[in-house]
Amino acid sequence: MYTTTIGNYTKETNFFNCTTPFELINEFDSPLYVYNENIFRKRLKEIKNLVKYKNFVPHYSVKANTNIHLLKIVKDEGLHVDTMSPGEIYMALASGFSSNELFYIPNNATQDDLNYAINKKILTSVDSLSQLKLYAELNPNSNVAIRFNPGVGAGHHQKVVTAGKKTKFGVNMSEFDEVKKILEENNLTLVGINQHIGSLFMESDAFIESTTNLLEFAKEFDTLEFIDLGGGFGIPYHKQEGQKPLDLIALGDKLDNIFSNFAKDYGREIQFQIEPGRIIACECGIVLGTVTGTKQNSDTTYVGCDIGFNVLARPIMYDSYHDIEIYTKRENPDLINQPVTVVGNICESGDILAKDRALPLPEYGDIIAIMDAGAYGFAMSSSYNQRPRSAEVLICSSGEVKLIRRRETFEDLIACMK
């Protein structure tokens, strides 16, 4: 067996079910993305049942994790999906979703991007006047949706705040007259409006404020069939410090109120949608890696491992924090925490997973696990430094471990150059 020297998320959630991190690395090699089906389904159900309002169709934002085996579970749980590129549309259709279960919300789409969705009969939301004009040229006399900027943004980092004054996203509400003109001139019917204010908020205030703004504005249009409020619902990355999850019950109650009041004012029970990615996929996934050793430089103790930013890009990209667990087979391991900096194997000094983190000192052969890596983990990974991308495995509810994406090979690295 093995000892977990720090953290207890995987123990508390029975994450490894019938297997162990050592068995997994033994069989599938390192580094390795591991997902737990029970946790994934639990989150899908929570989102599906967020509100009591009848005409509610939650979408899973596939950009967070696009593994086809996970998408099939999303379909099985009855959610729809939002996509942002032809590739995401391709993946969603390949996992069994039908066109009317997809919503396409691209940004700076080319003609080819738009035509891809038009040919597949997927409803598209455009997010600028120029994109609306382009869409009108390609597909006049049709239905369209528009992403508006509700004026209020939120998110864990400026890079992922997608509403307000400093963002490339969304049509401004002040552009209302021009929007109406383009719609009328091209016989386009505005069937939906949407927002996405940014990614990862733990308090719902900004989301409720932007939603209130959007719904007030929605009353200007009488053709709407749905309103989509976007994603952005956060998860507690600091569980080891006792961080609490977003209060979904309170949020659901607020939304229920807002939805039914809007339905009264609008005169019908319009469809409401949300499209979260992170809150659904994040906590069901971790990355396992191998500790390669420790070293001292000046006053920093480095713990090295094989999880570089090619495997998990979030820390270098946003200074993101992820809880860490360490597993060892050593007898009587030292459990005393000391400040260490955990780094990967990429040839850049920025390749840091965790800075000055209090951890017990691991040794070569111990396994390091990065928590909450199911969203924007594998999806943002690369083969930088010519490290083939990791494998992904799913610990099924039955306890069976399924390889859901094989590890890339050196052949894969060269395949597109042939």
The residues assigned a catalytic role are 347
Per CB under 6 A, which of residues 76..95 are in contact with ligand LLP? 82
Residue span binding ligand LLP (CB under 6 A) among the ranges 132-140, 192-200, 219-227, 246-254 = 192-200
168, burial (CB in 10 Å: exposed 0-12, middle 13-18, buried 19+): exposed
Identify the H or E element spanning 415: helix 410-415
Q: How far is CA 319 from CA 170, 350, 380, in A?
A: 26, 10, 15
Residue span binding ligand LLP (CB under 6 A) among the ranges 180-188, 224-232, 326-334, 361-369 = 224-232
Backbone angles phi, psi at 378, to 5 degrees: -55, -40
CA 157 to chain centre: 15
Inter-residue contact 178 to 222 (CB < 8 Å): no
196 lines the binding site for ligand LLP (CB under 6 A): yes
- The mark string for 317-346 relative to ligand LLP (x by CB under 6 A, - otherwise) is -x----------------------------
b/e per residue, 66-101, with b = 16+ CB within 10 A?
A: bbebbbebbbebebbbbbbbbebbebbbebebeeeb
Kindly tell me which of 200 and 394 has the beta carbon lying closer to ligand LLP. Answer: 200
Kindly tell me which of 196 and 357 has the beta carbon lying closer to ligand LLP. Answer: 196
105 lines the binding site for ligand LLP (CB under 6 A): yes
Residue in 276, 285, 308, 315 binding ligand LLP, rule: CB under 6 A:
276
43 lines the binding site for ligand LLP (CB under 6 A): no
Residue in 35, 135, 233, 309 binding ligand LLP, rule: CB under 6 A:
233
Question: At its nearest, how many Å lie between ligand LLP and the CB of residue 129?
Answer: 18
- The mark string for 256-275 relative to ligand LLP (x by CB under 6 A, - otherwise) is -------------------x
Residue span binding ligand LLP (CB under 6 A) among the ranges 24-32, 114-122, 231-239, 398-406 = 231-239
200 lines the binding site for ligand LLP (CB under 6 A): yes
CA distance 242 to 237: 10
**Which runs of consecutive H residues, i.e. helices, occur in 175-296?**
176-185, 205-218, 248-266, 278-281
Kindly tell me which of 32 and 279 has the beta carbon lying closer to ligand LLP. Answer: 279
CA distance 13 to 262: 39
Number of residues that bind ligand LLP (CB under 6 A): 21
Q: What is the DSSP letter of 410?
A: H
Kindly tell me which of 285 and 333 has the beta carbon lying closer to ligand LLP. Answer: 285
Residue in 10, 36, 61, 290 binding ligand LLP, rule: CB under 6 A:
61
CA 10 to chain centre: 20
Per CB under 6 A, which of residues 371..410 are in contact with ligand LLP? 375-376
Question: At its nearest, how many Å lie between ligand LLP and the CB of residue 99?
Answer: 19
315 lines the binding site for ligand LLP (CB under 6 A): no
Inter-residue contact 94 to 310 (CB < 8 Å): no
**Nearest alpha carbon to residue 228 among 189, 190, 283:** 190
- The dihedral through the CA atoms of 60, 61, 64, 67 has a sign that is positive
Question: At its nearest, how many Å lie between ligand LLP and the CB of residue 390?
Answer: 17
199 lines the binding site for ligand LLP (CB under 6 A): yes
**Nearest alpha carbon to residue 16 among 267, 369, 281:** 369
Place of tokens 């209302």: 176
Residue nearest to ligand LLP (CB): 231
Per CB under 6 A, which of residues 128..157 are in contact with ligand LLP? none
231 lines the binding site for ligand LLP (CB under 6 A): yes
Per the document, the length of the chain is 418
Q: Is 20 helix (H, G, I), strand (E, B) or coil?
A: coil
Residues within the interface to ligand LLP (CB under 6 A): 61, 63-64, 82, 105, 160, 196, 199-200, 230-233, 275-278, 314, 318, 375-376
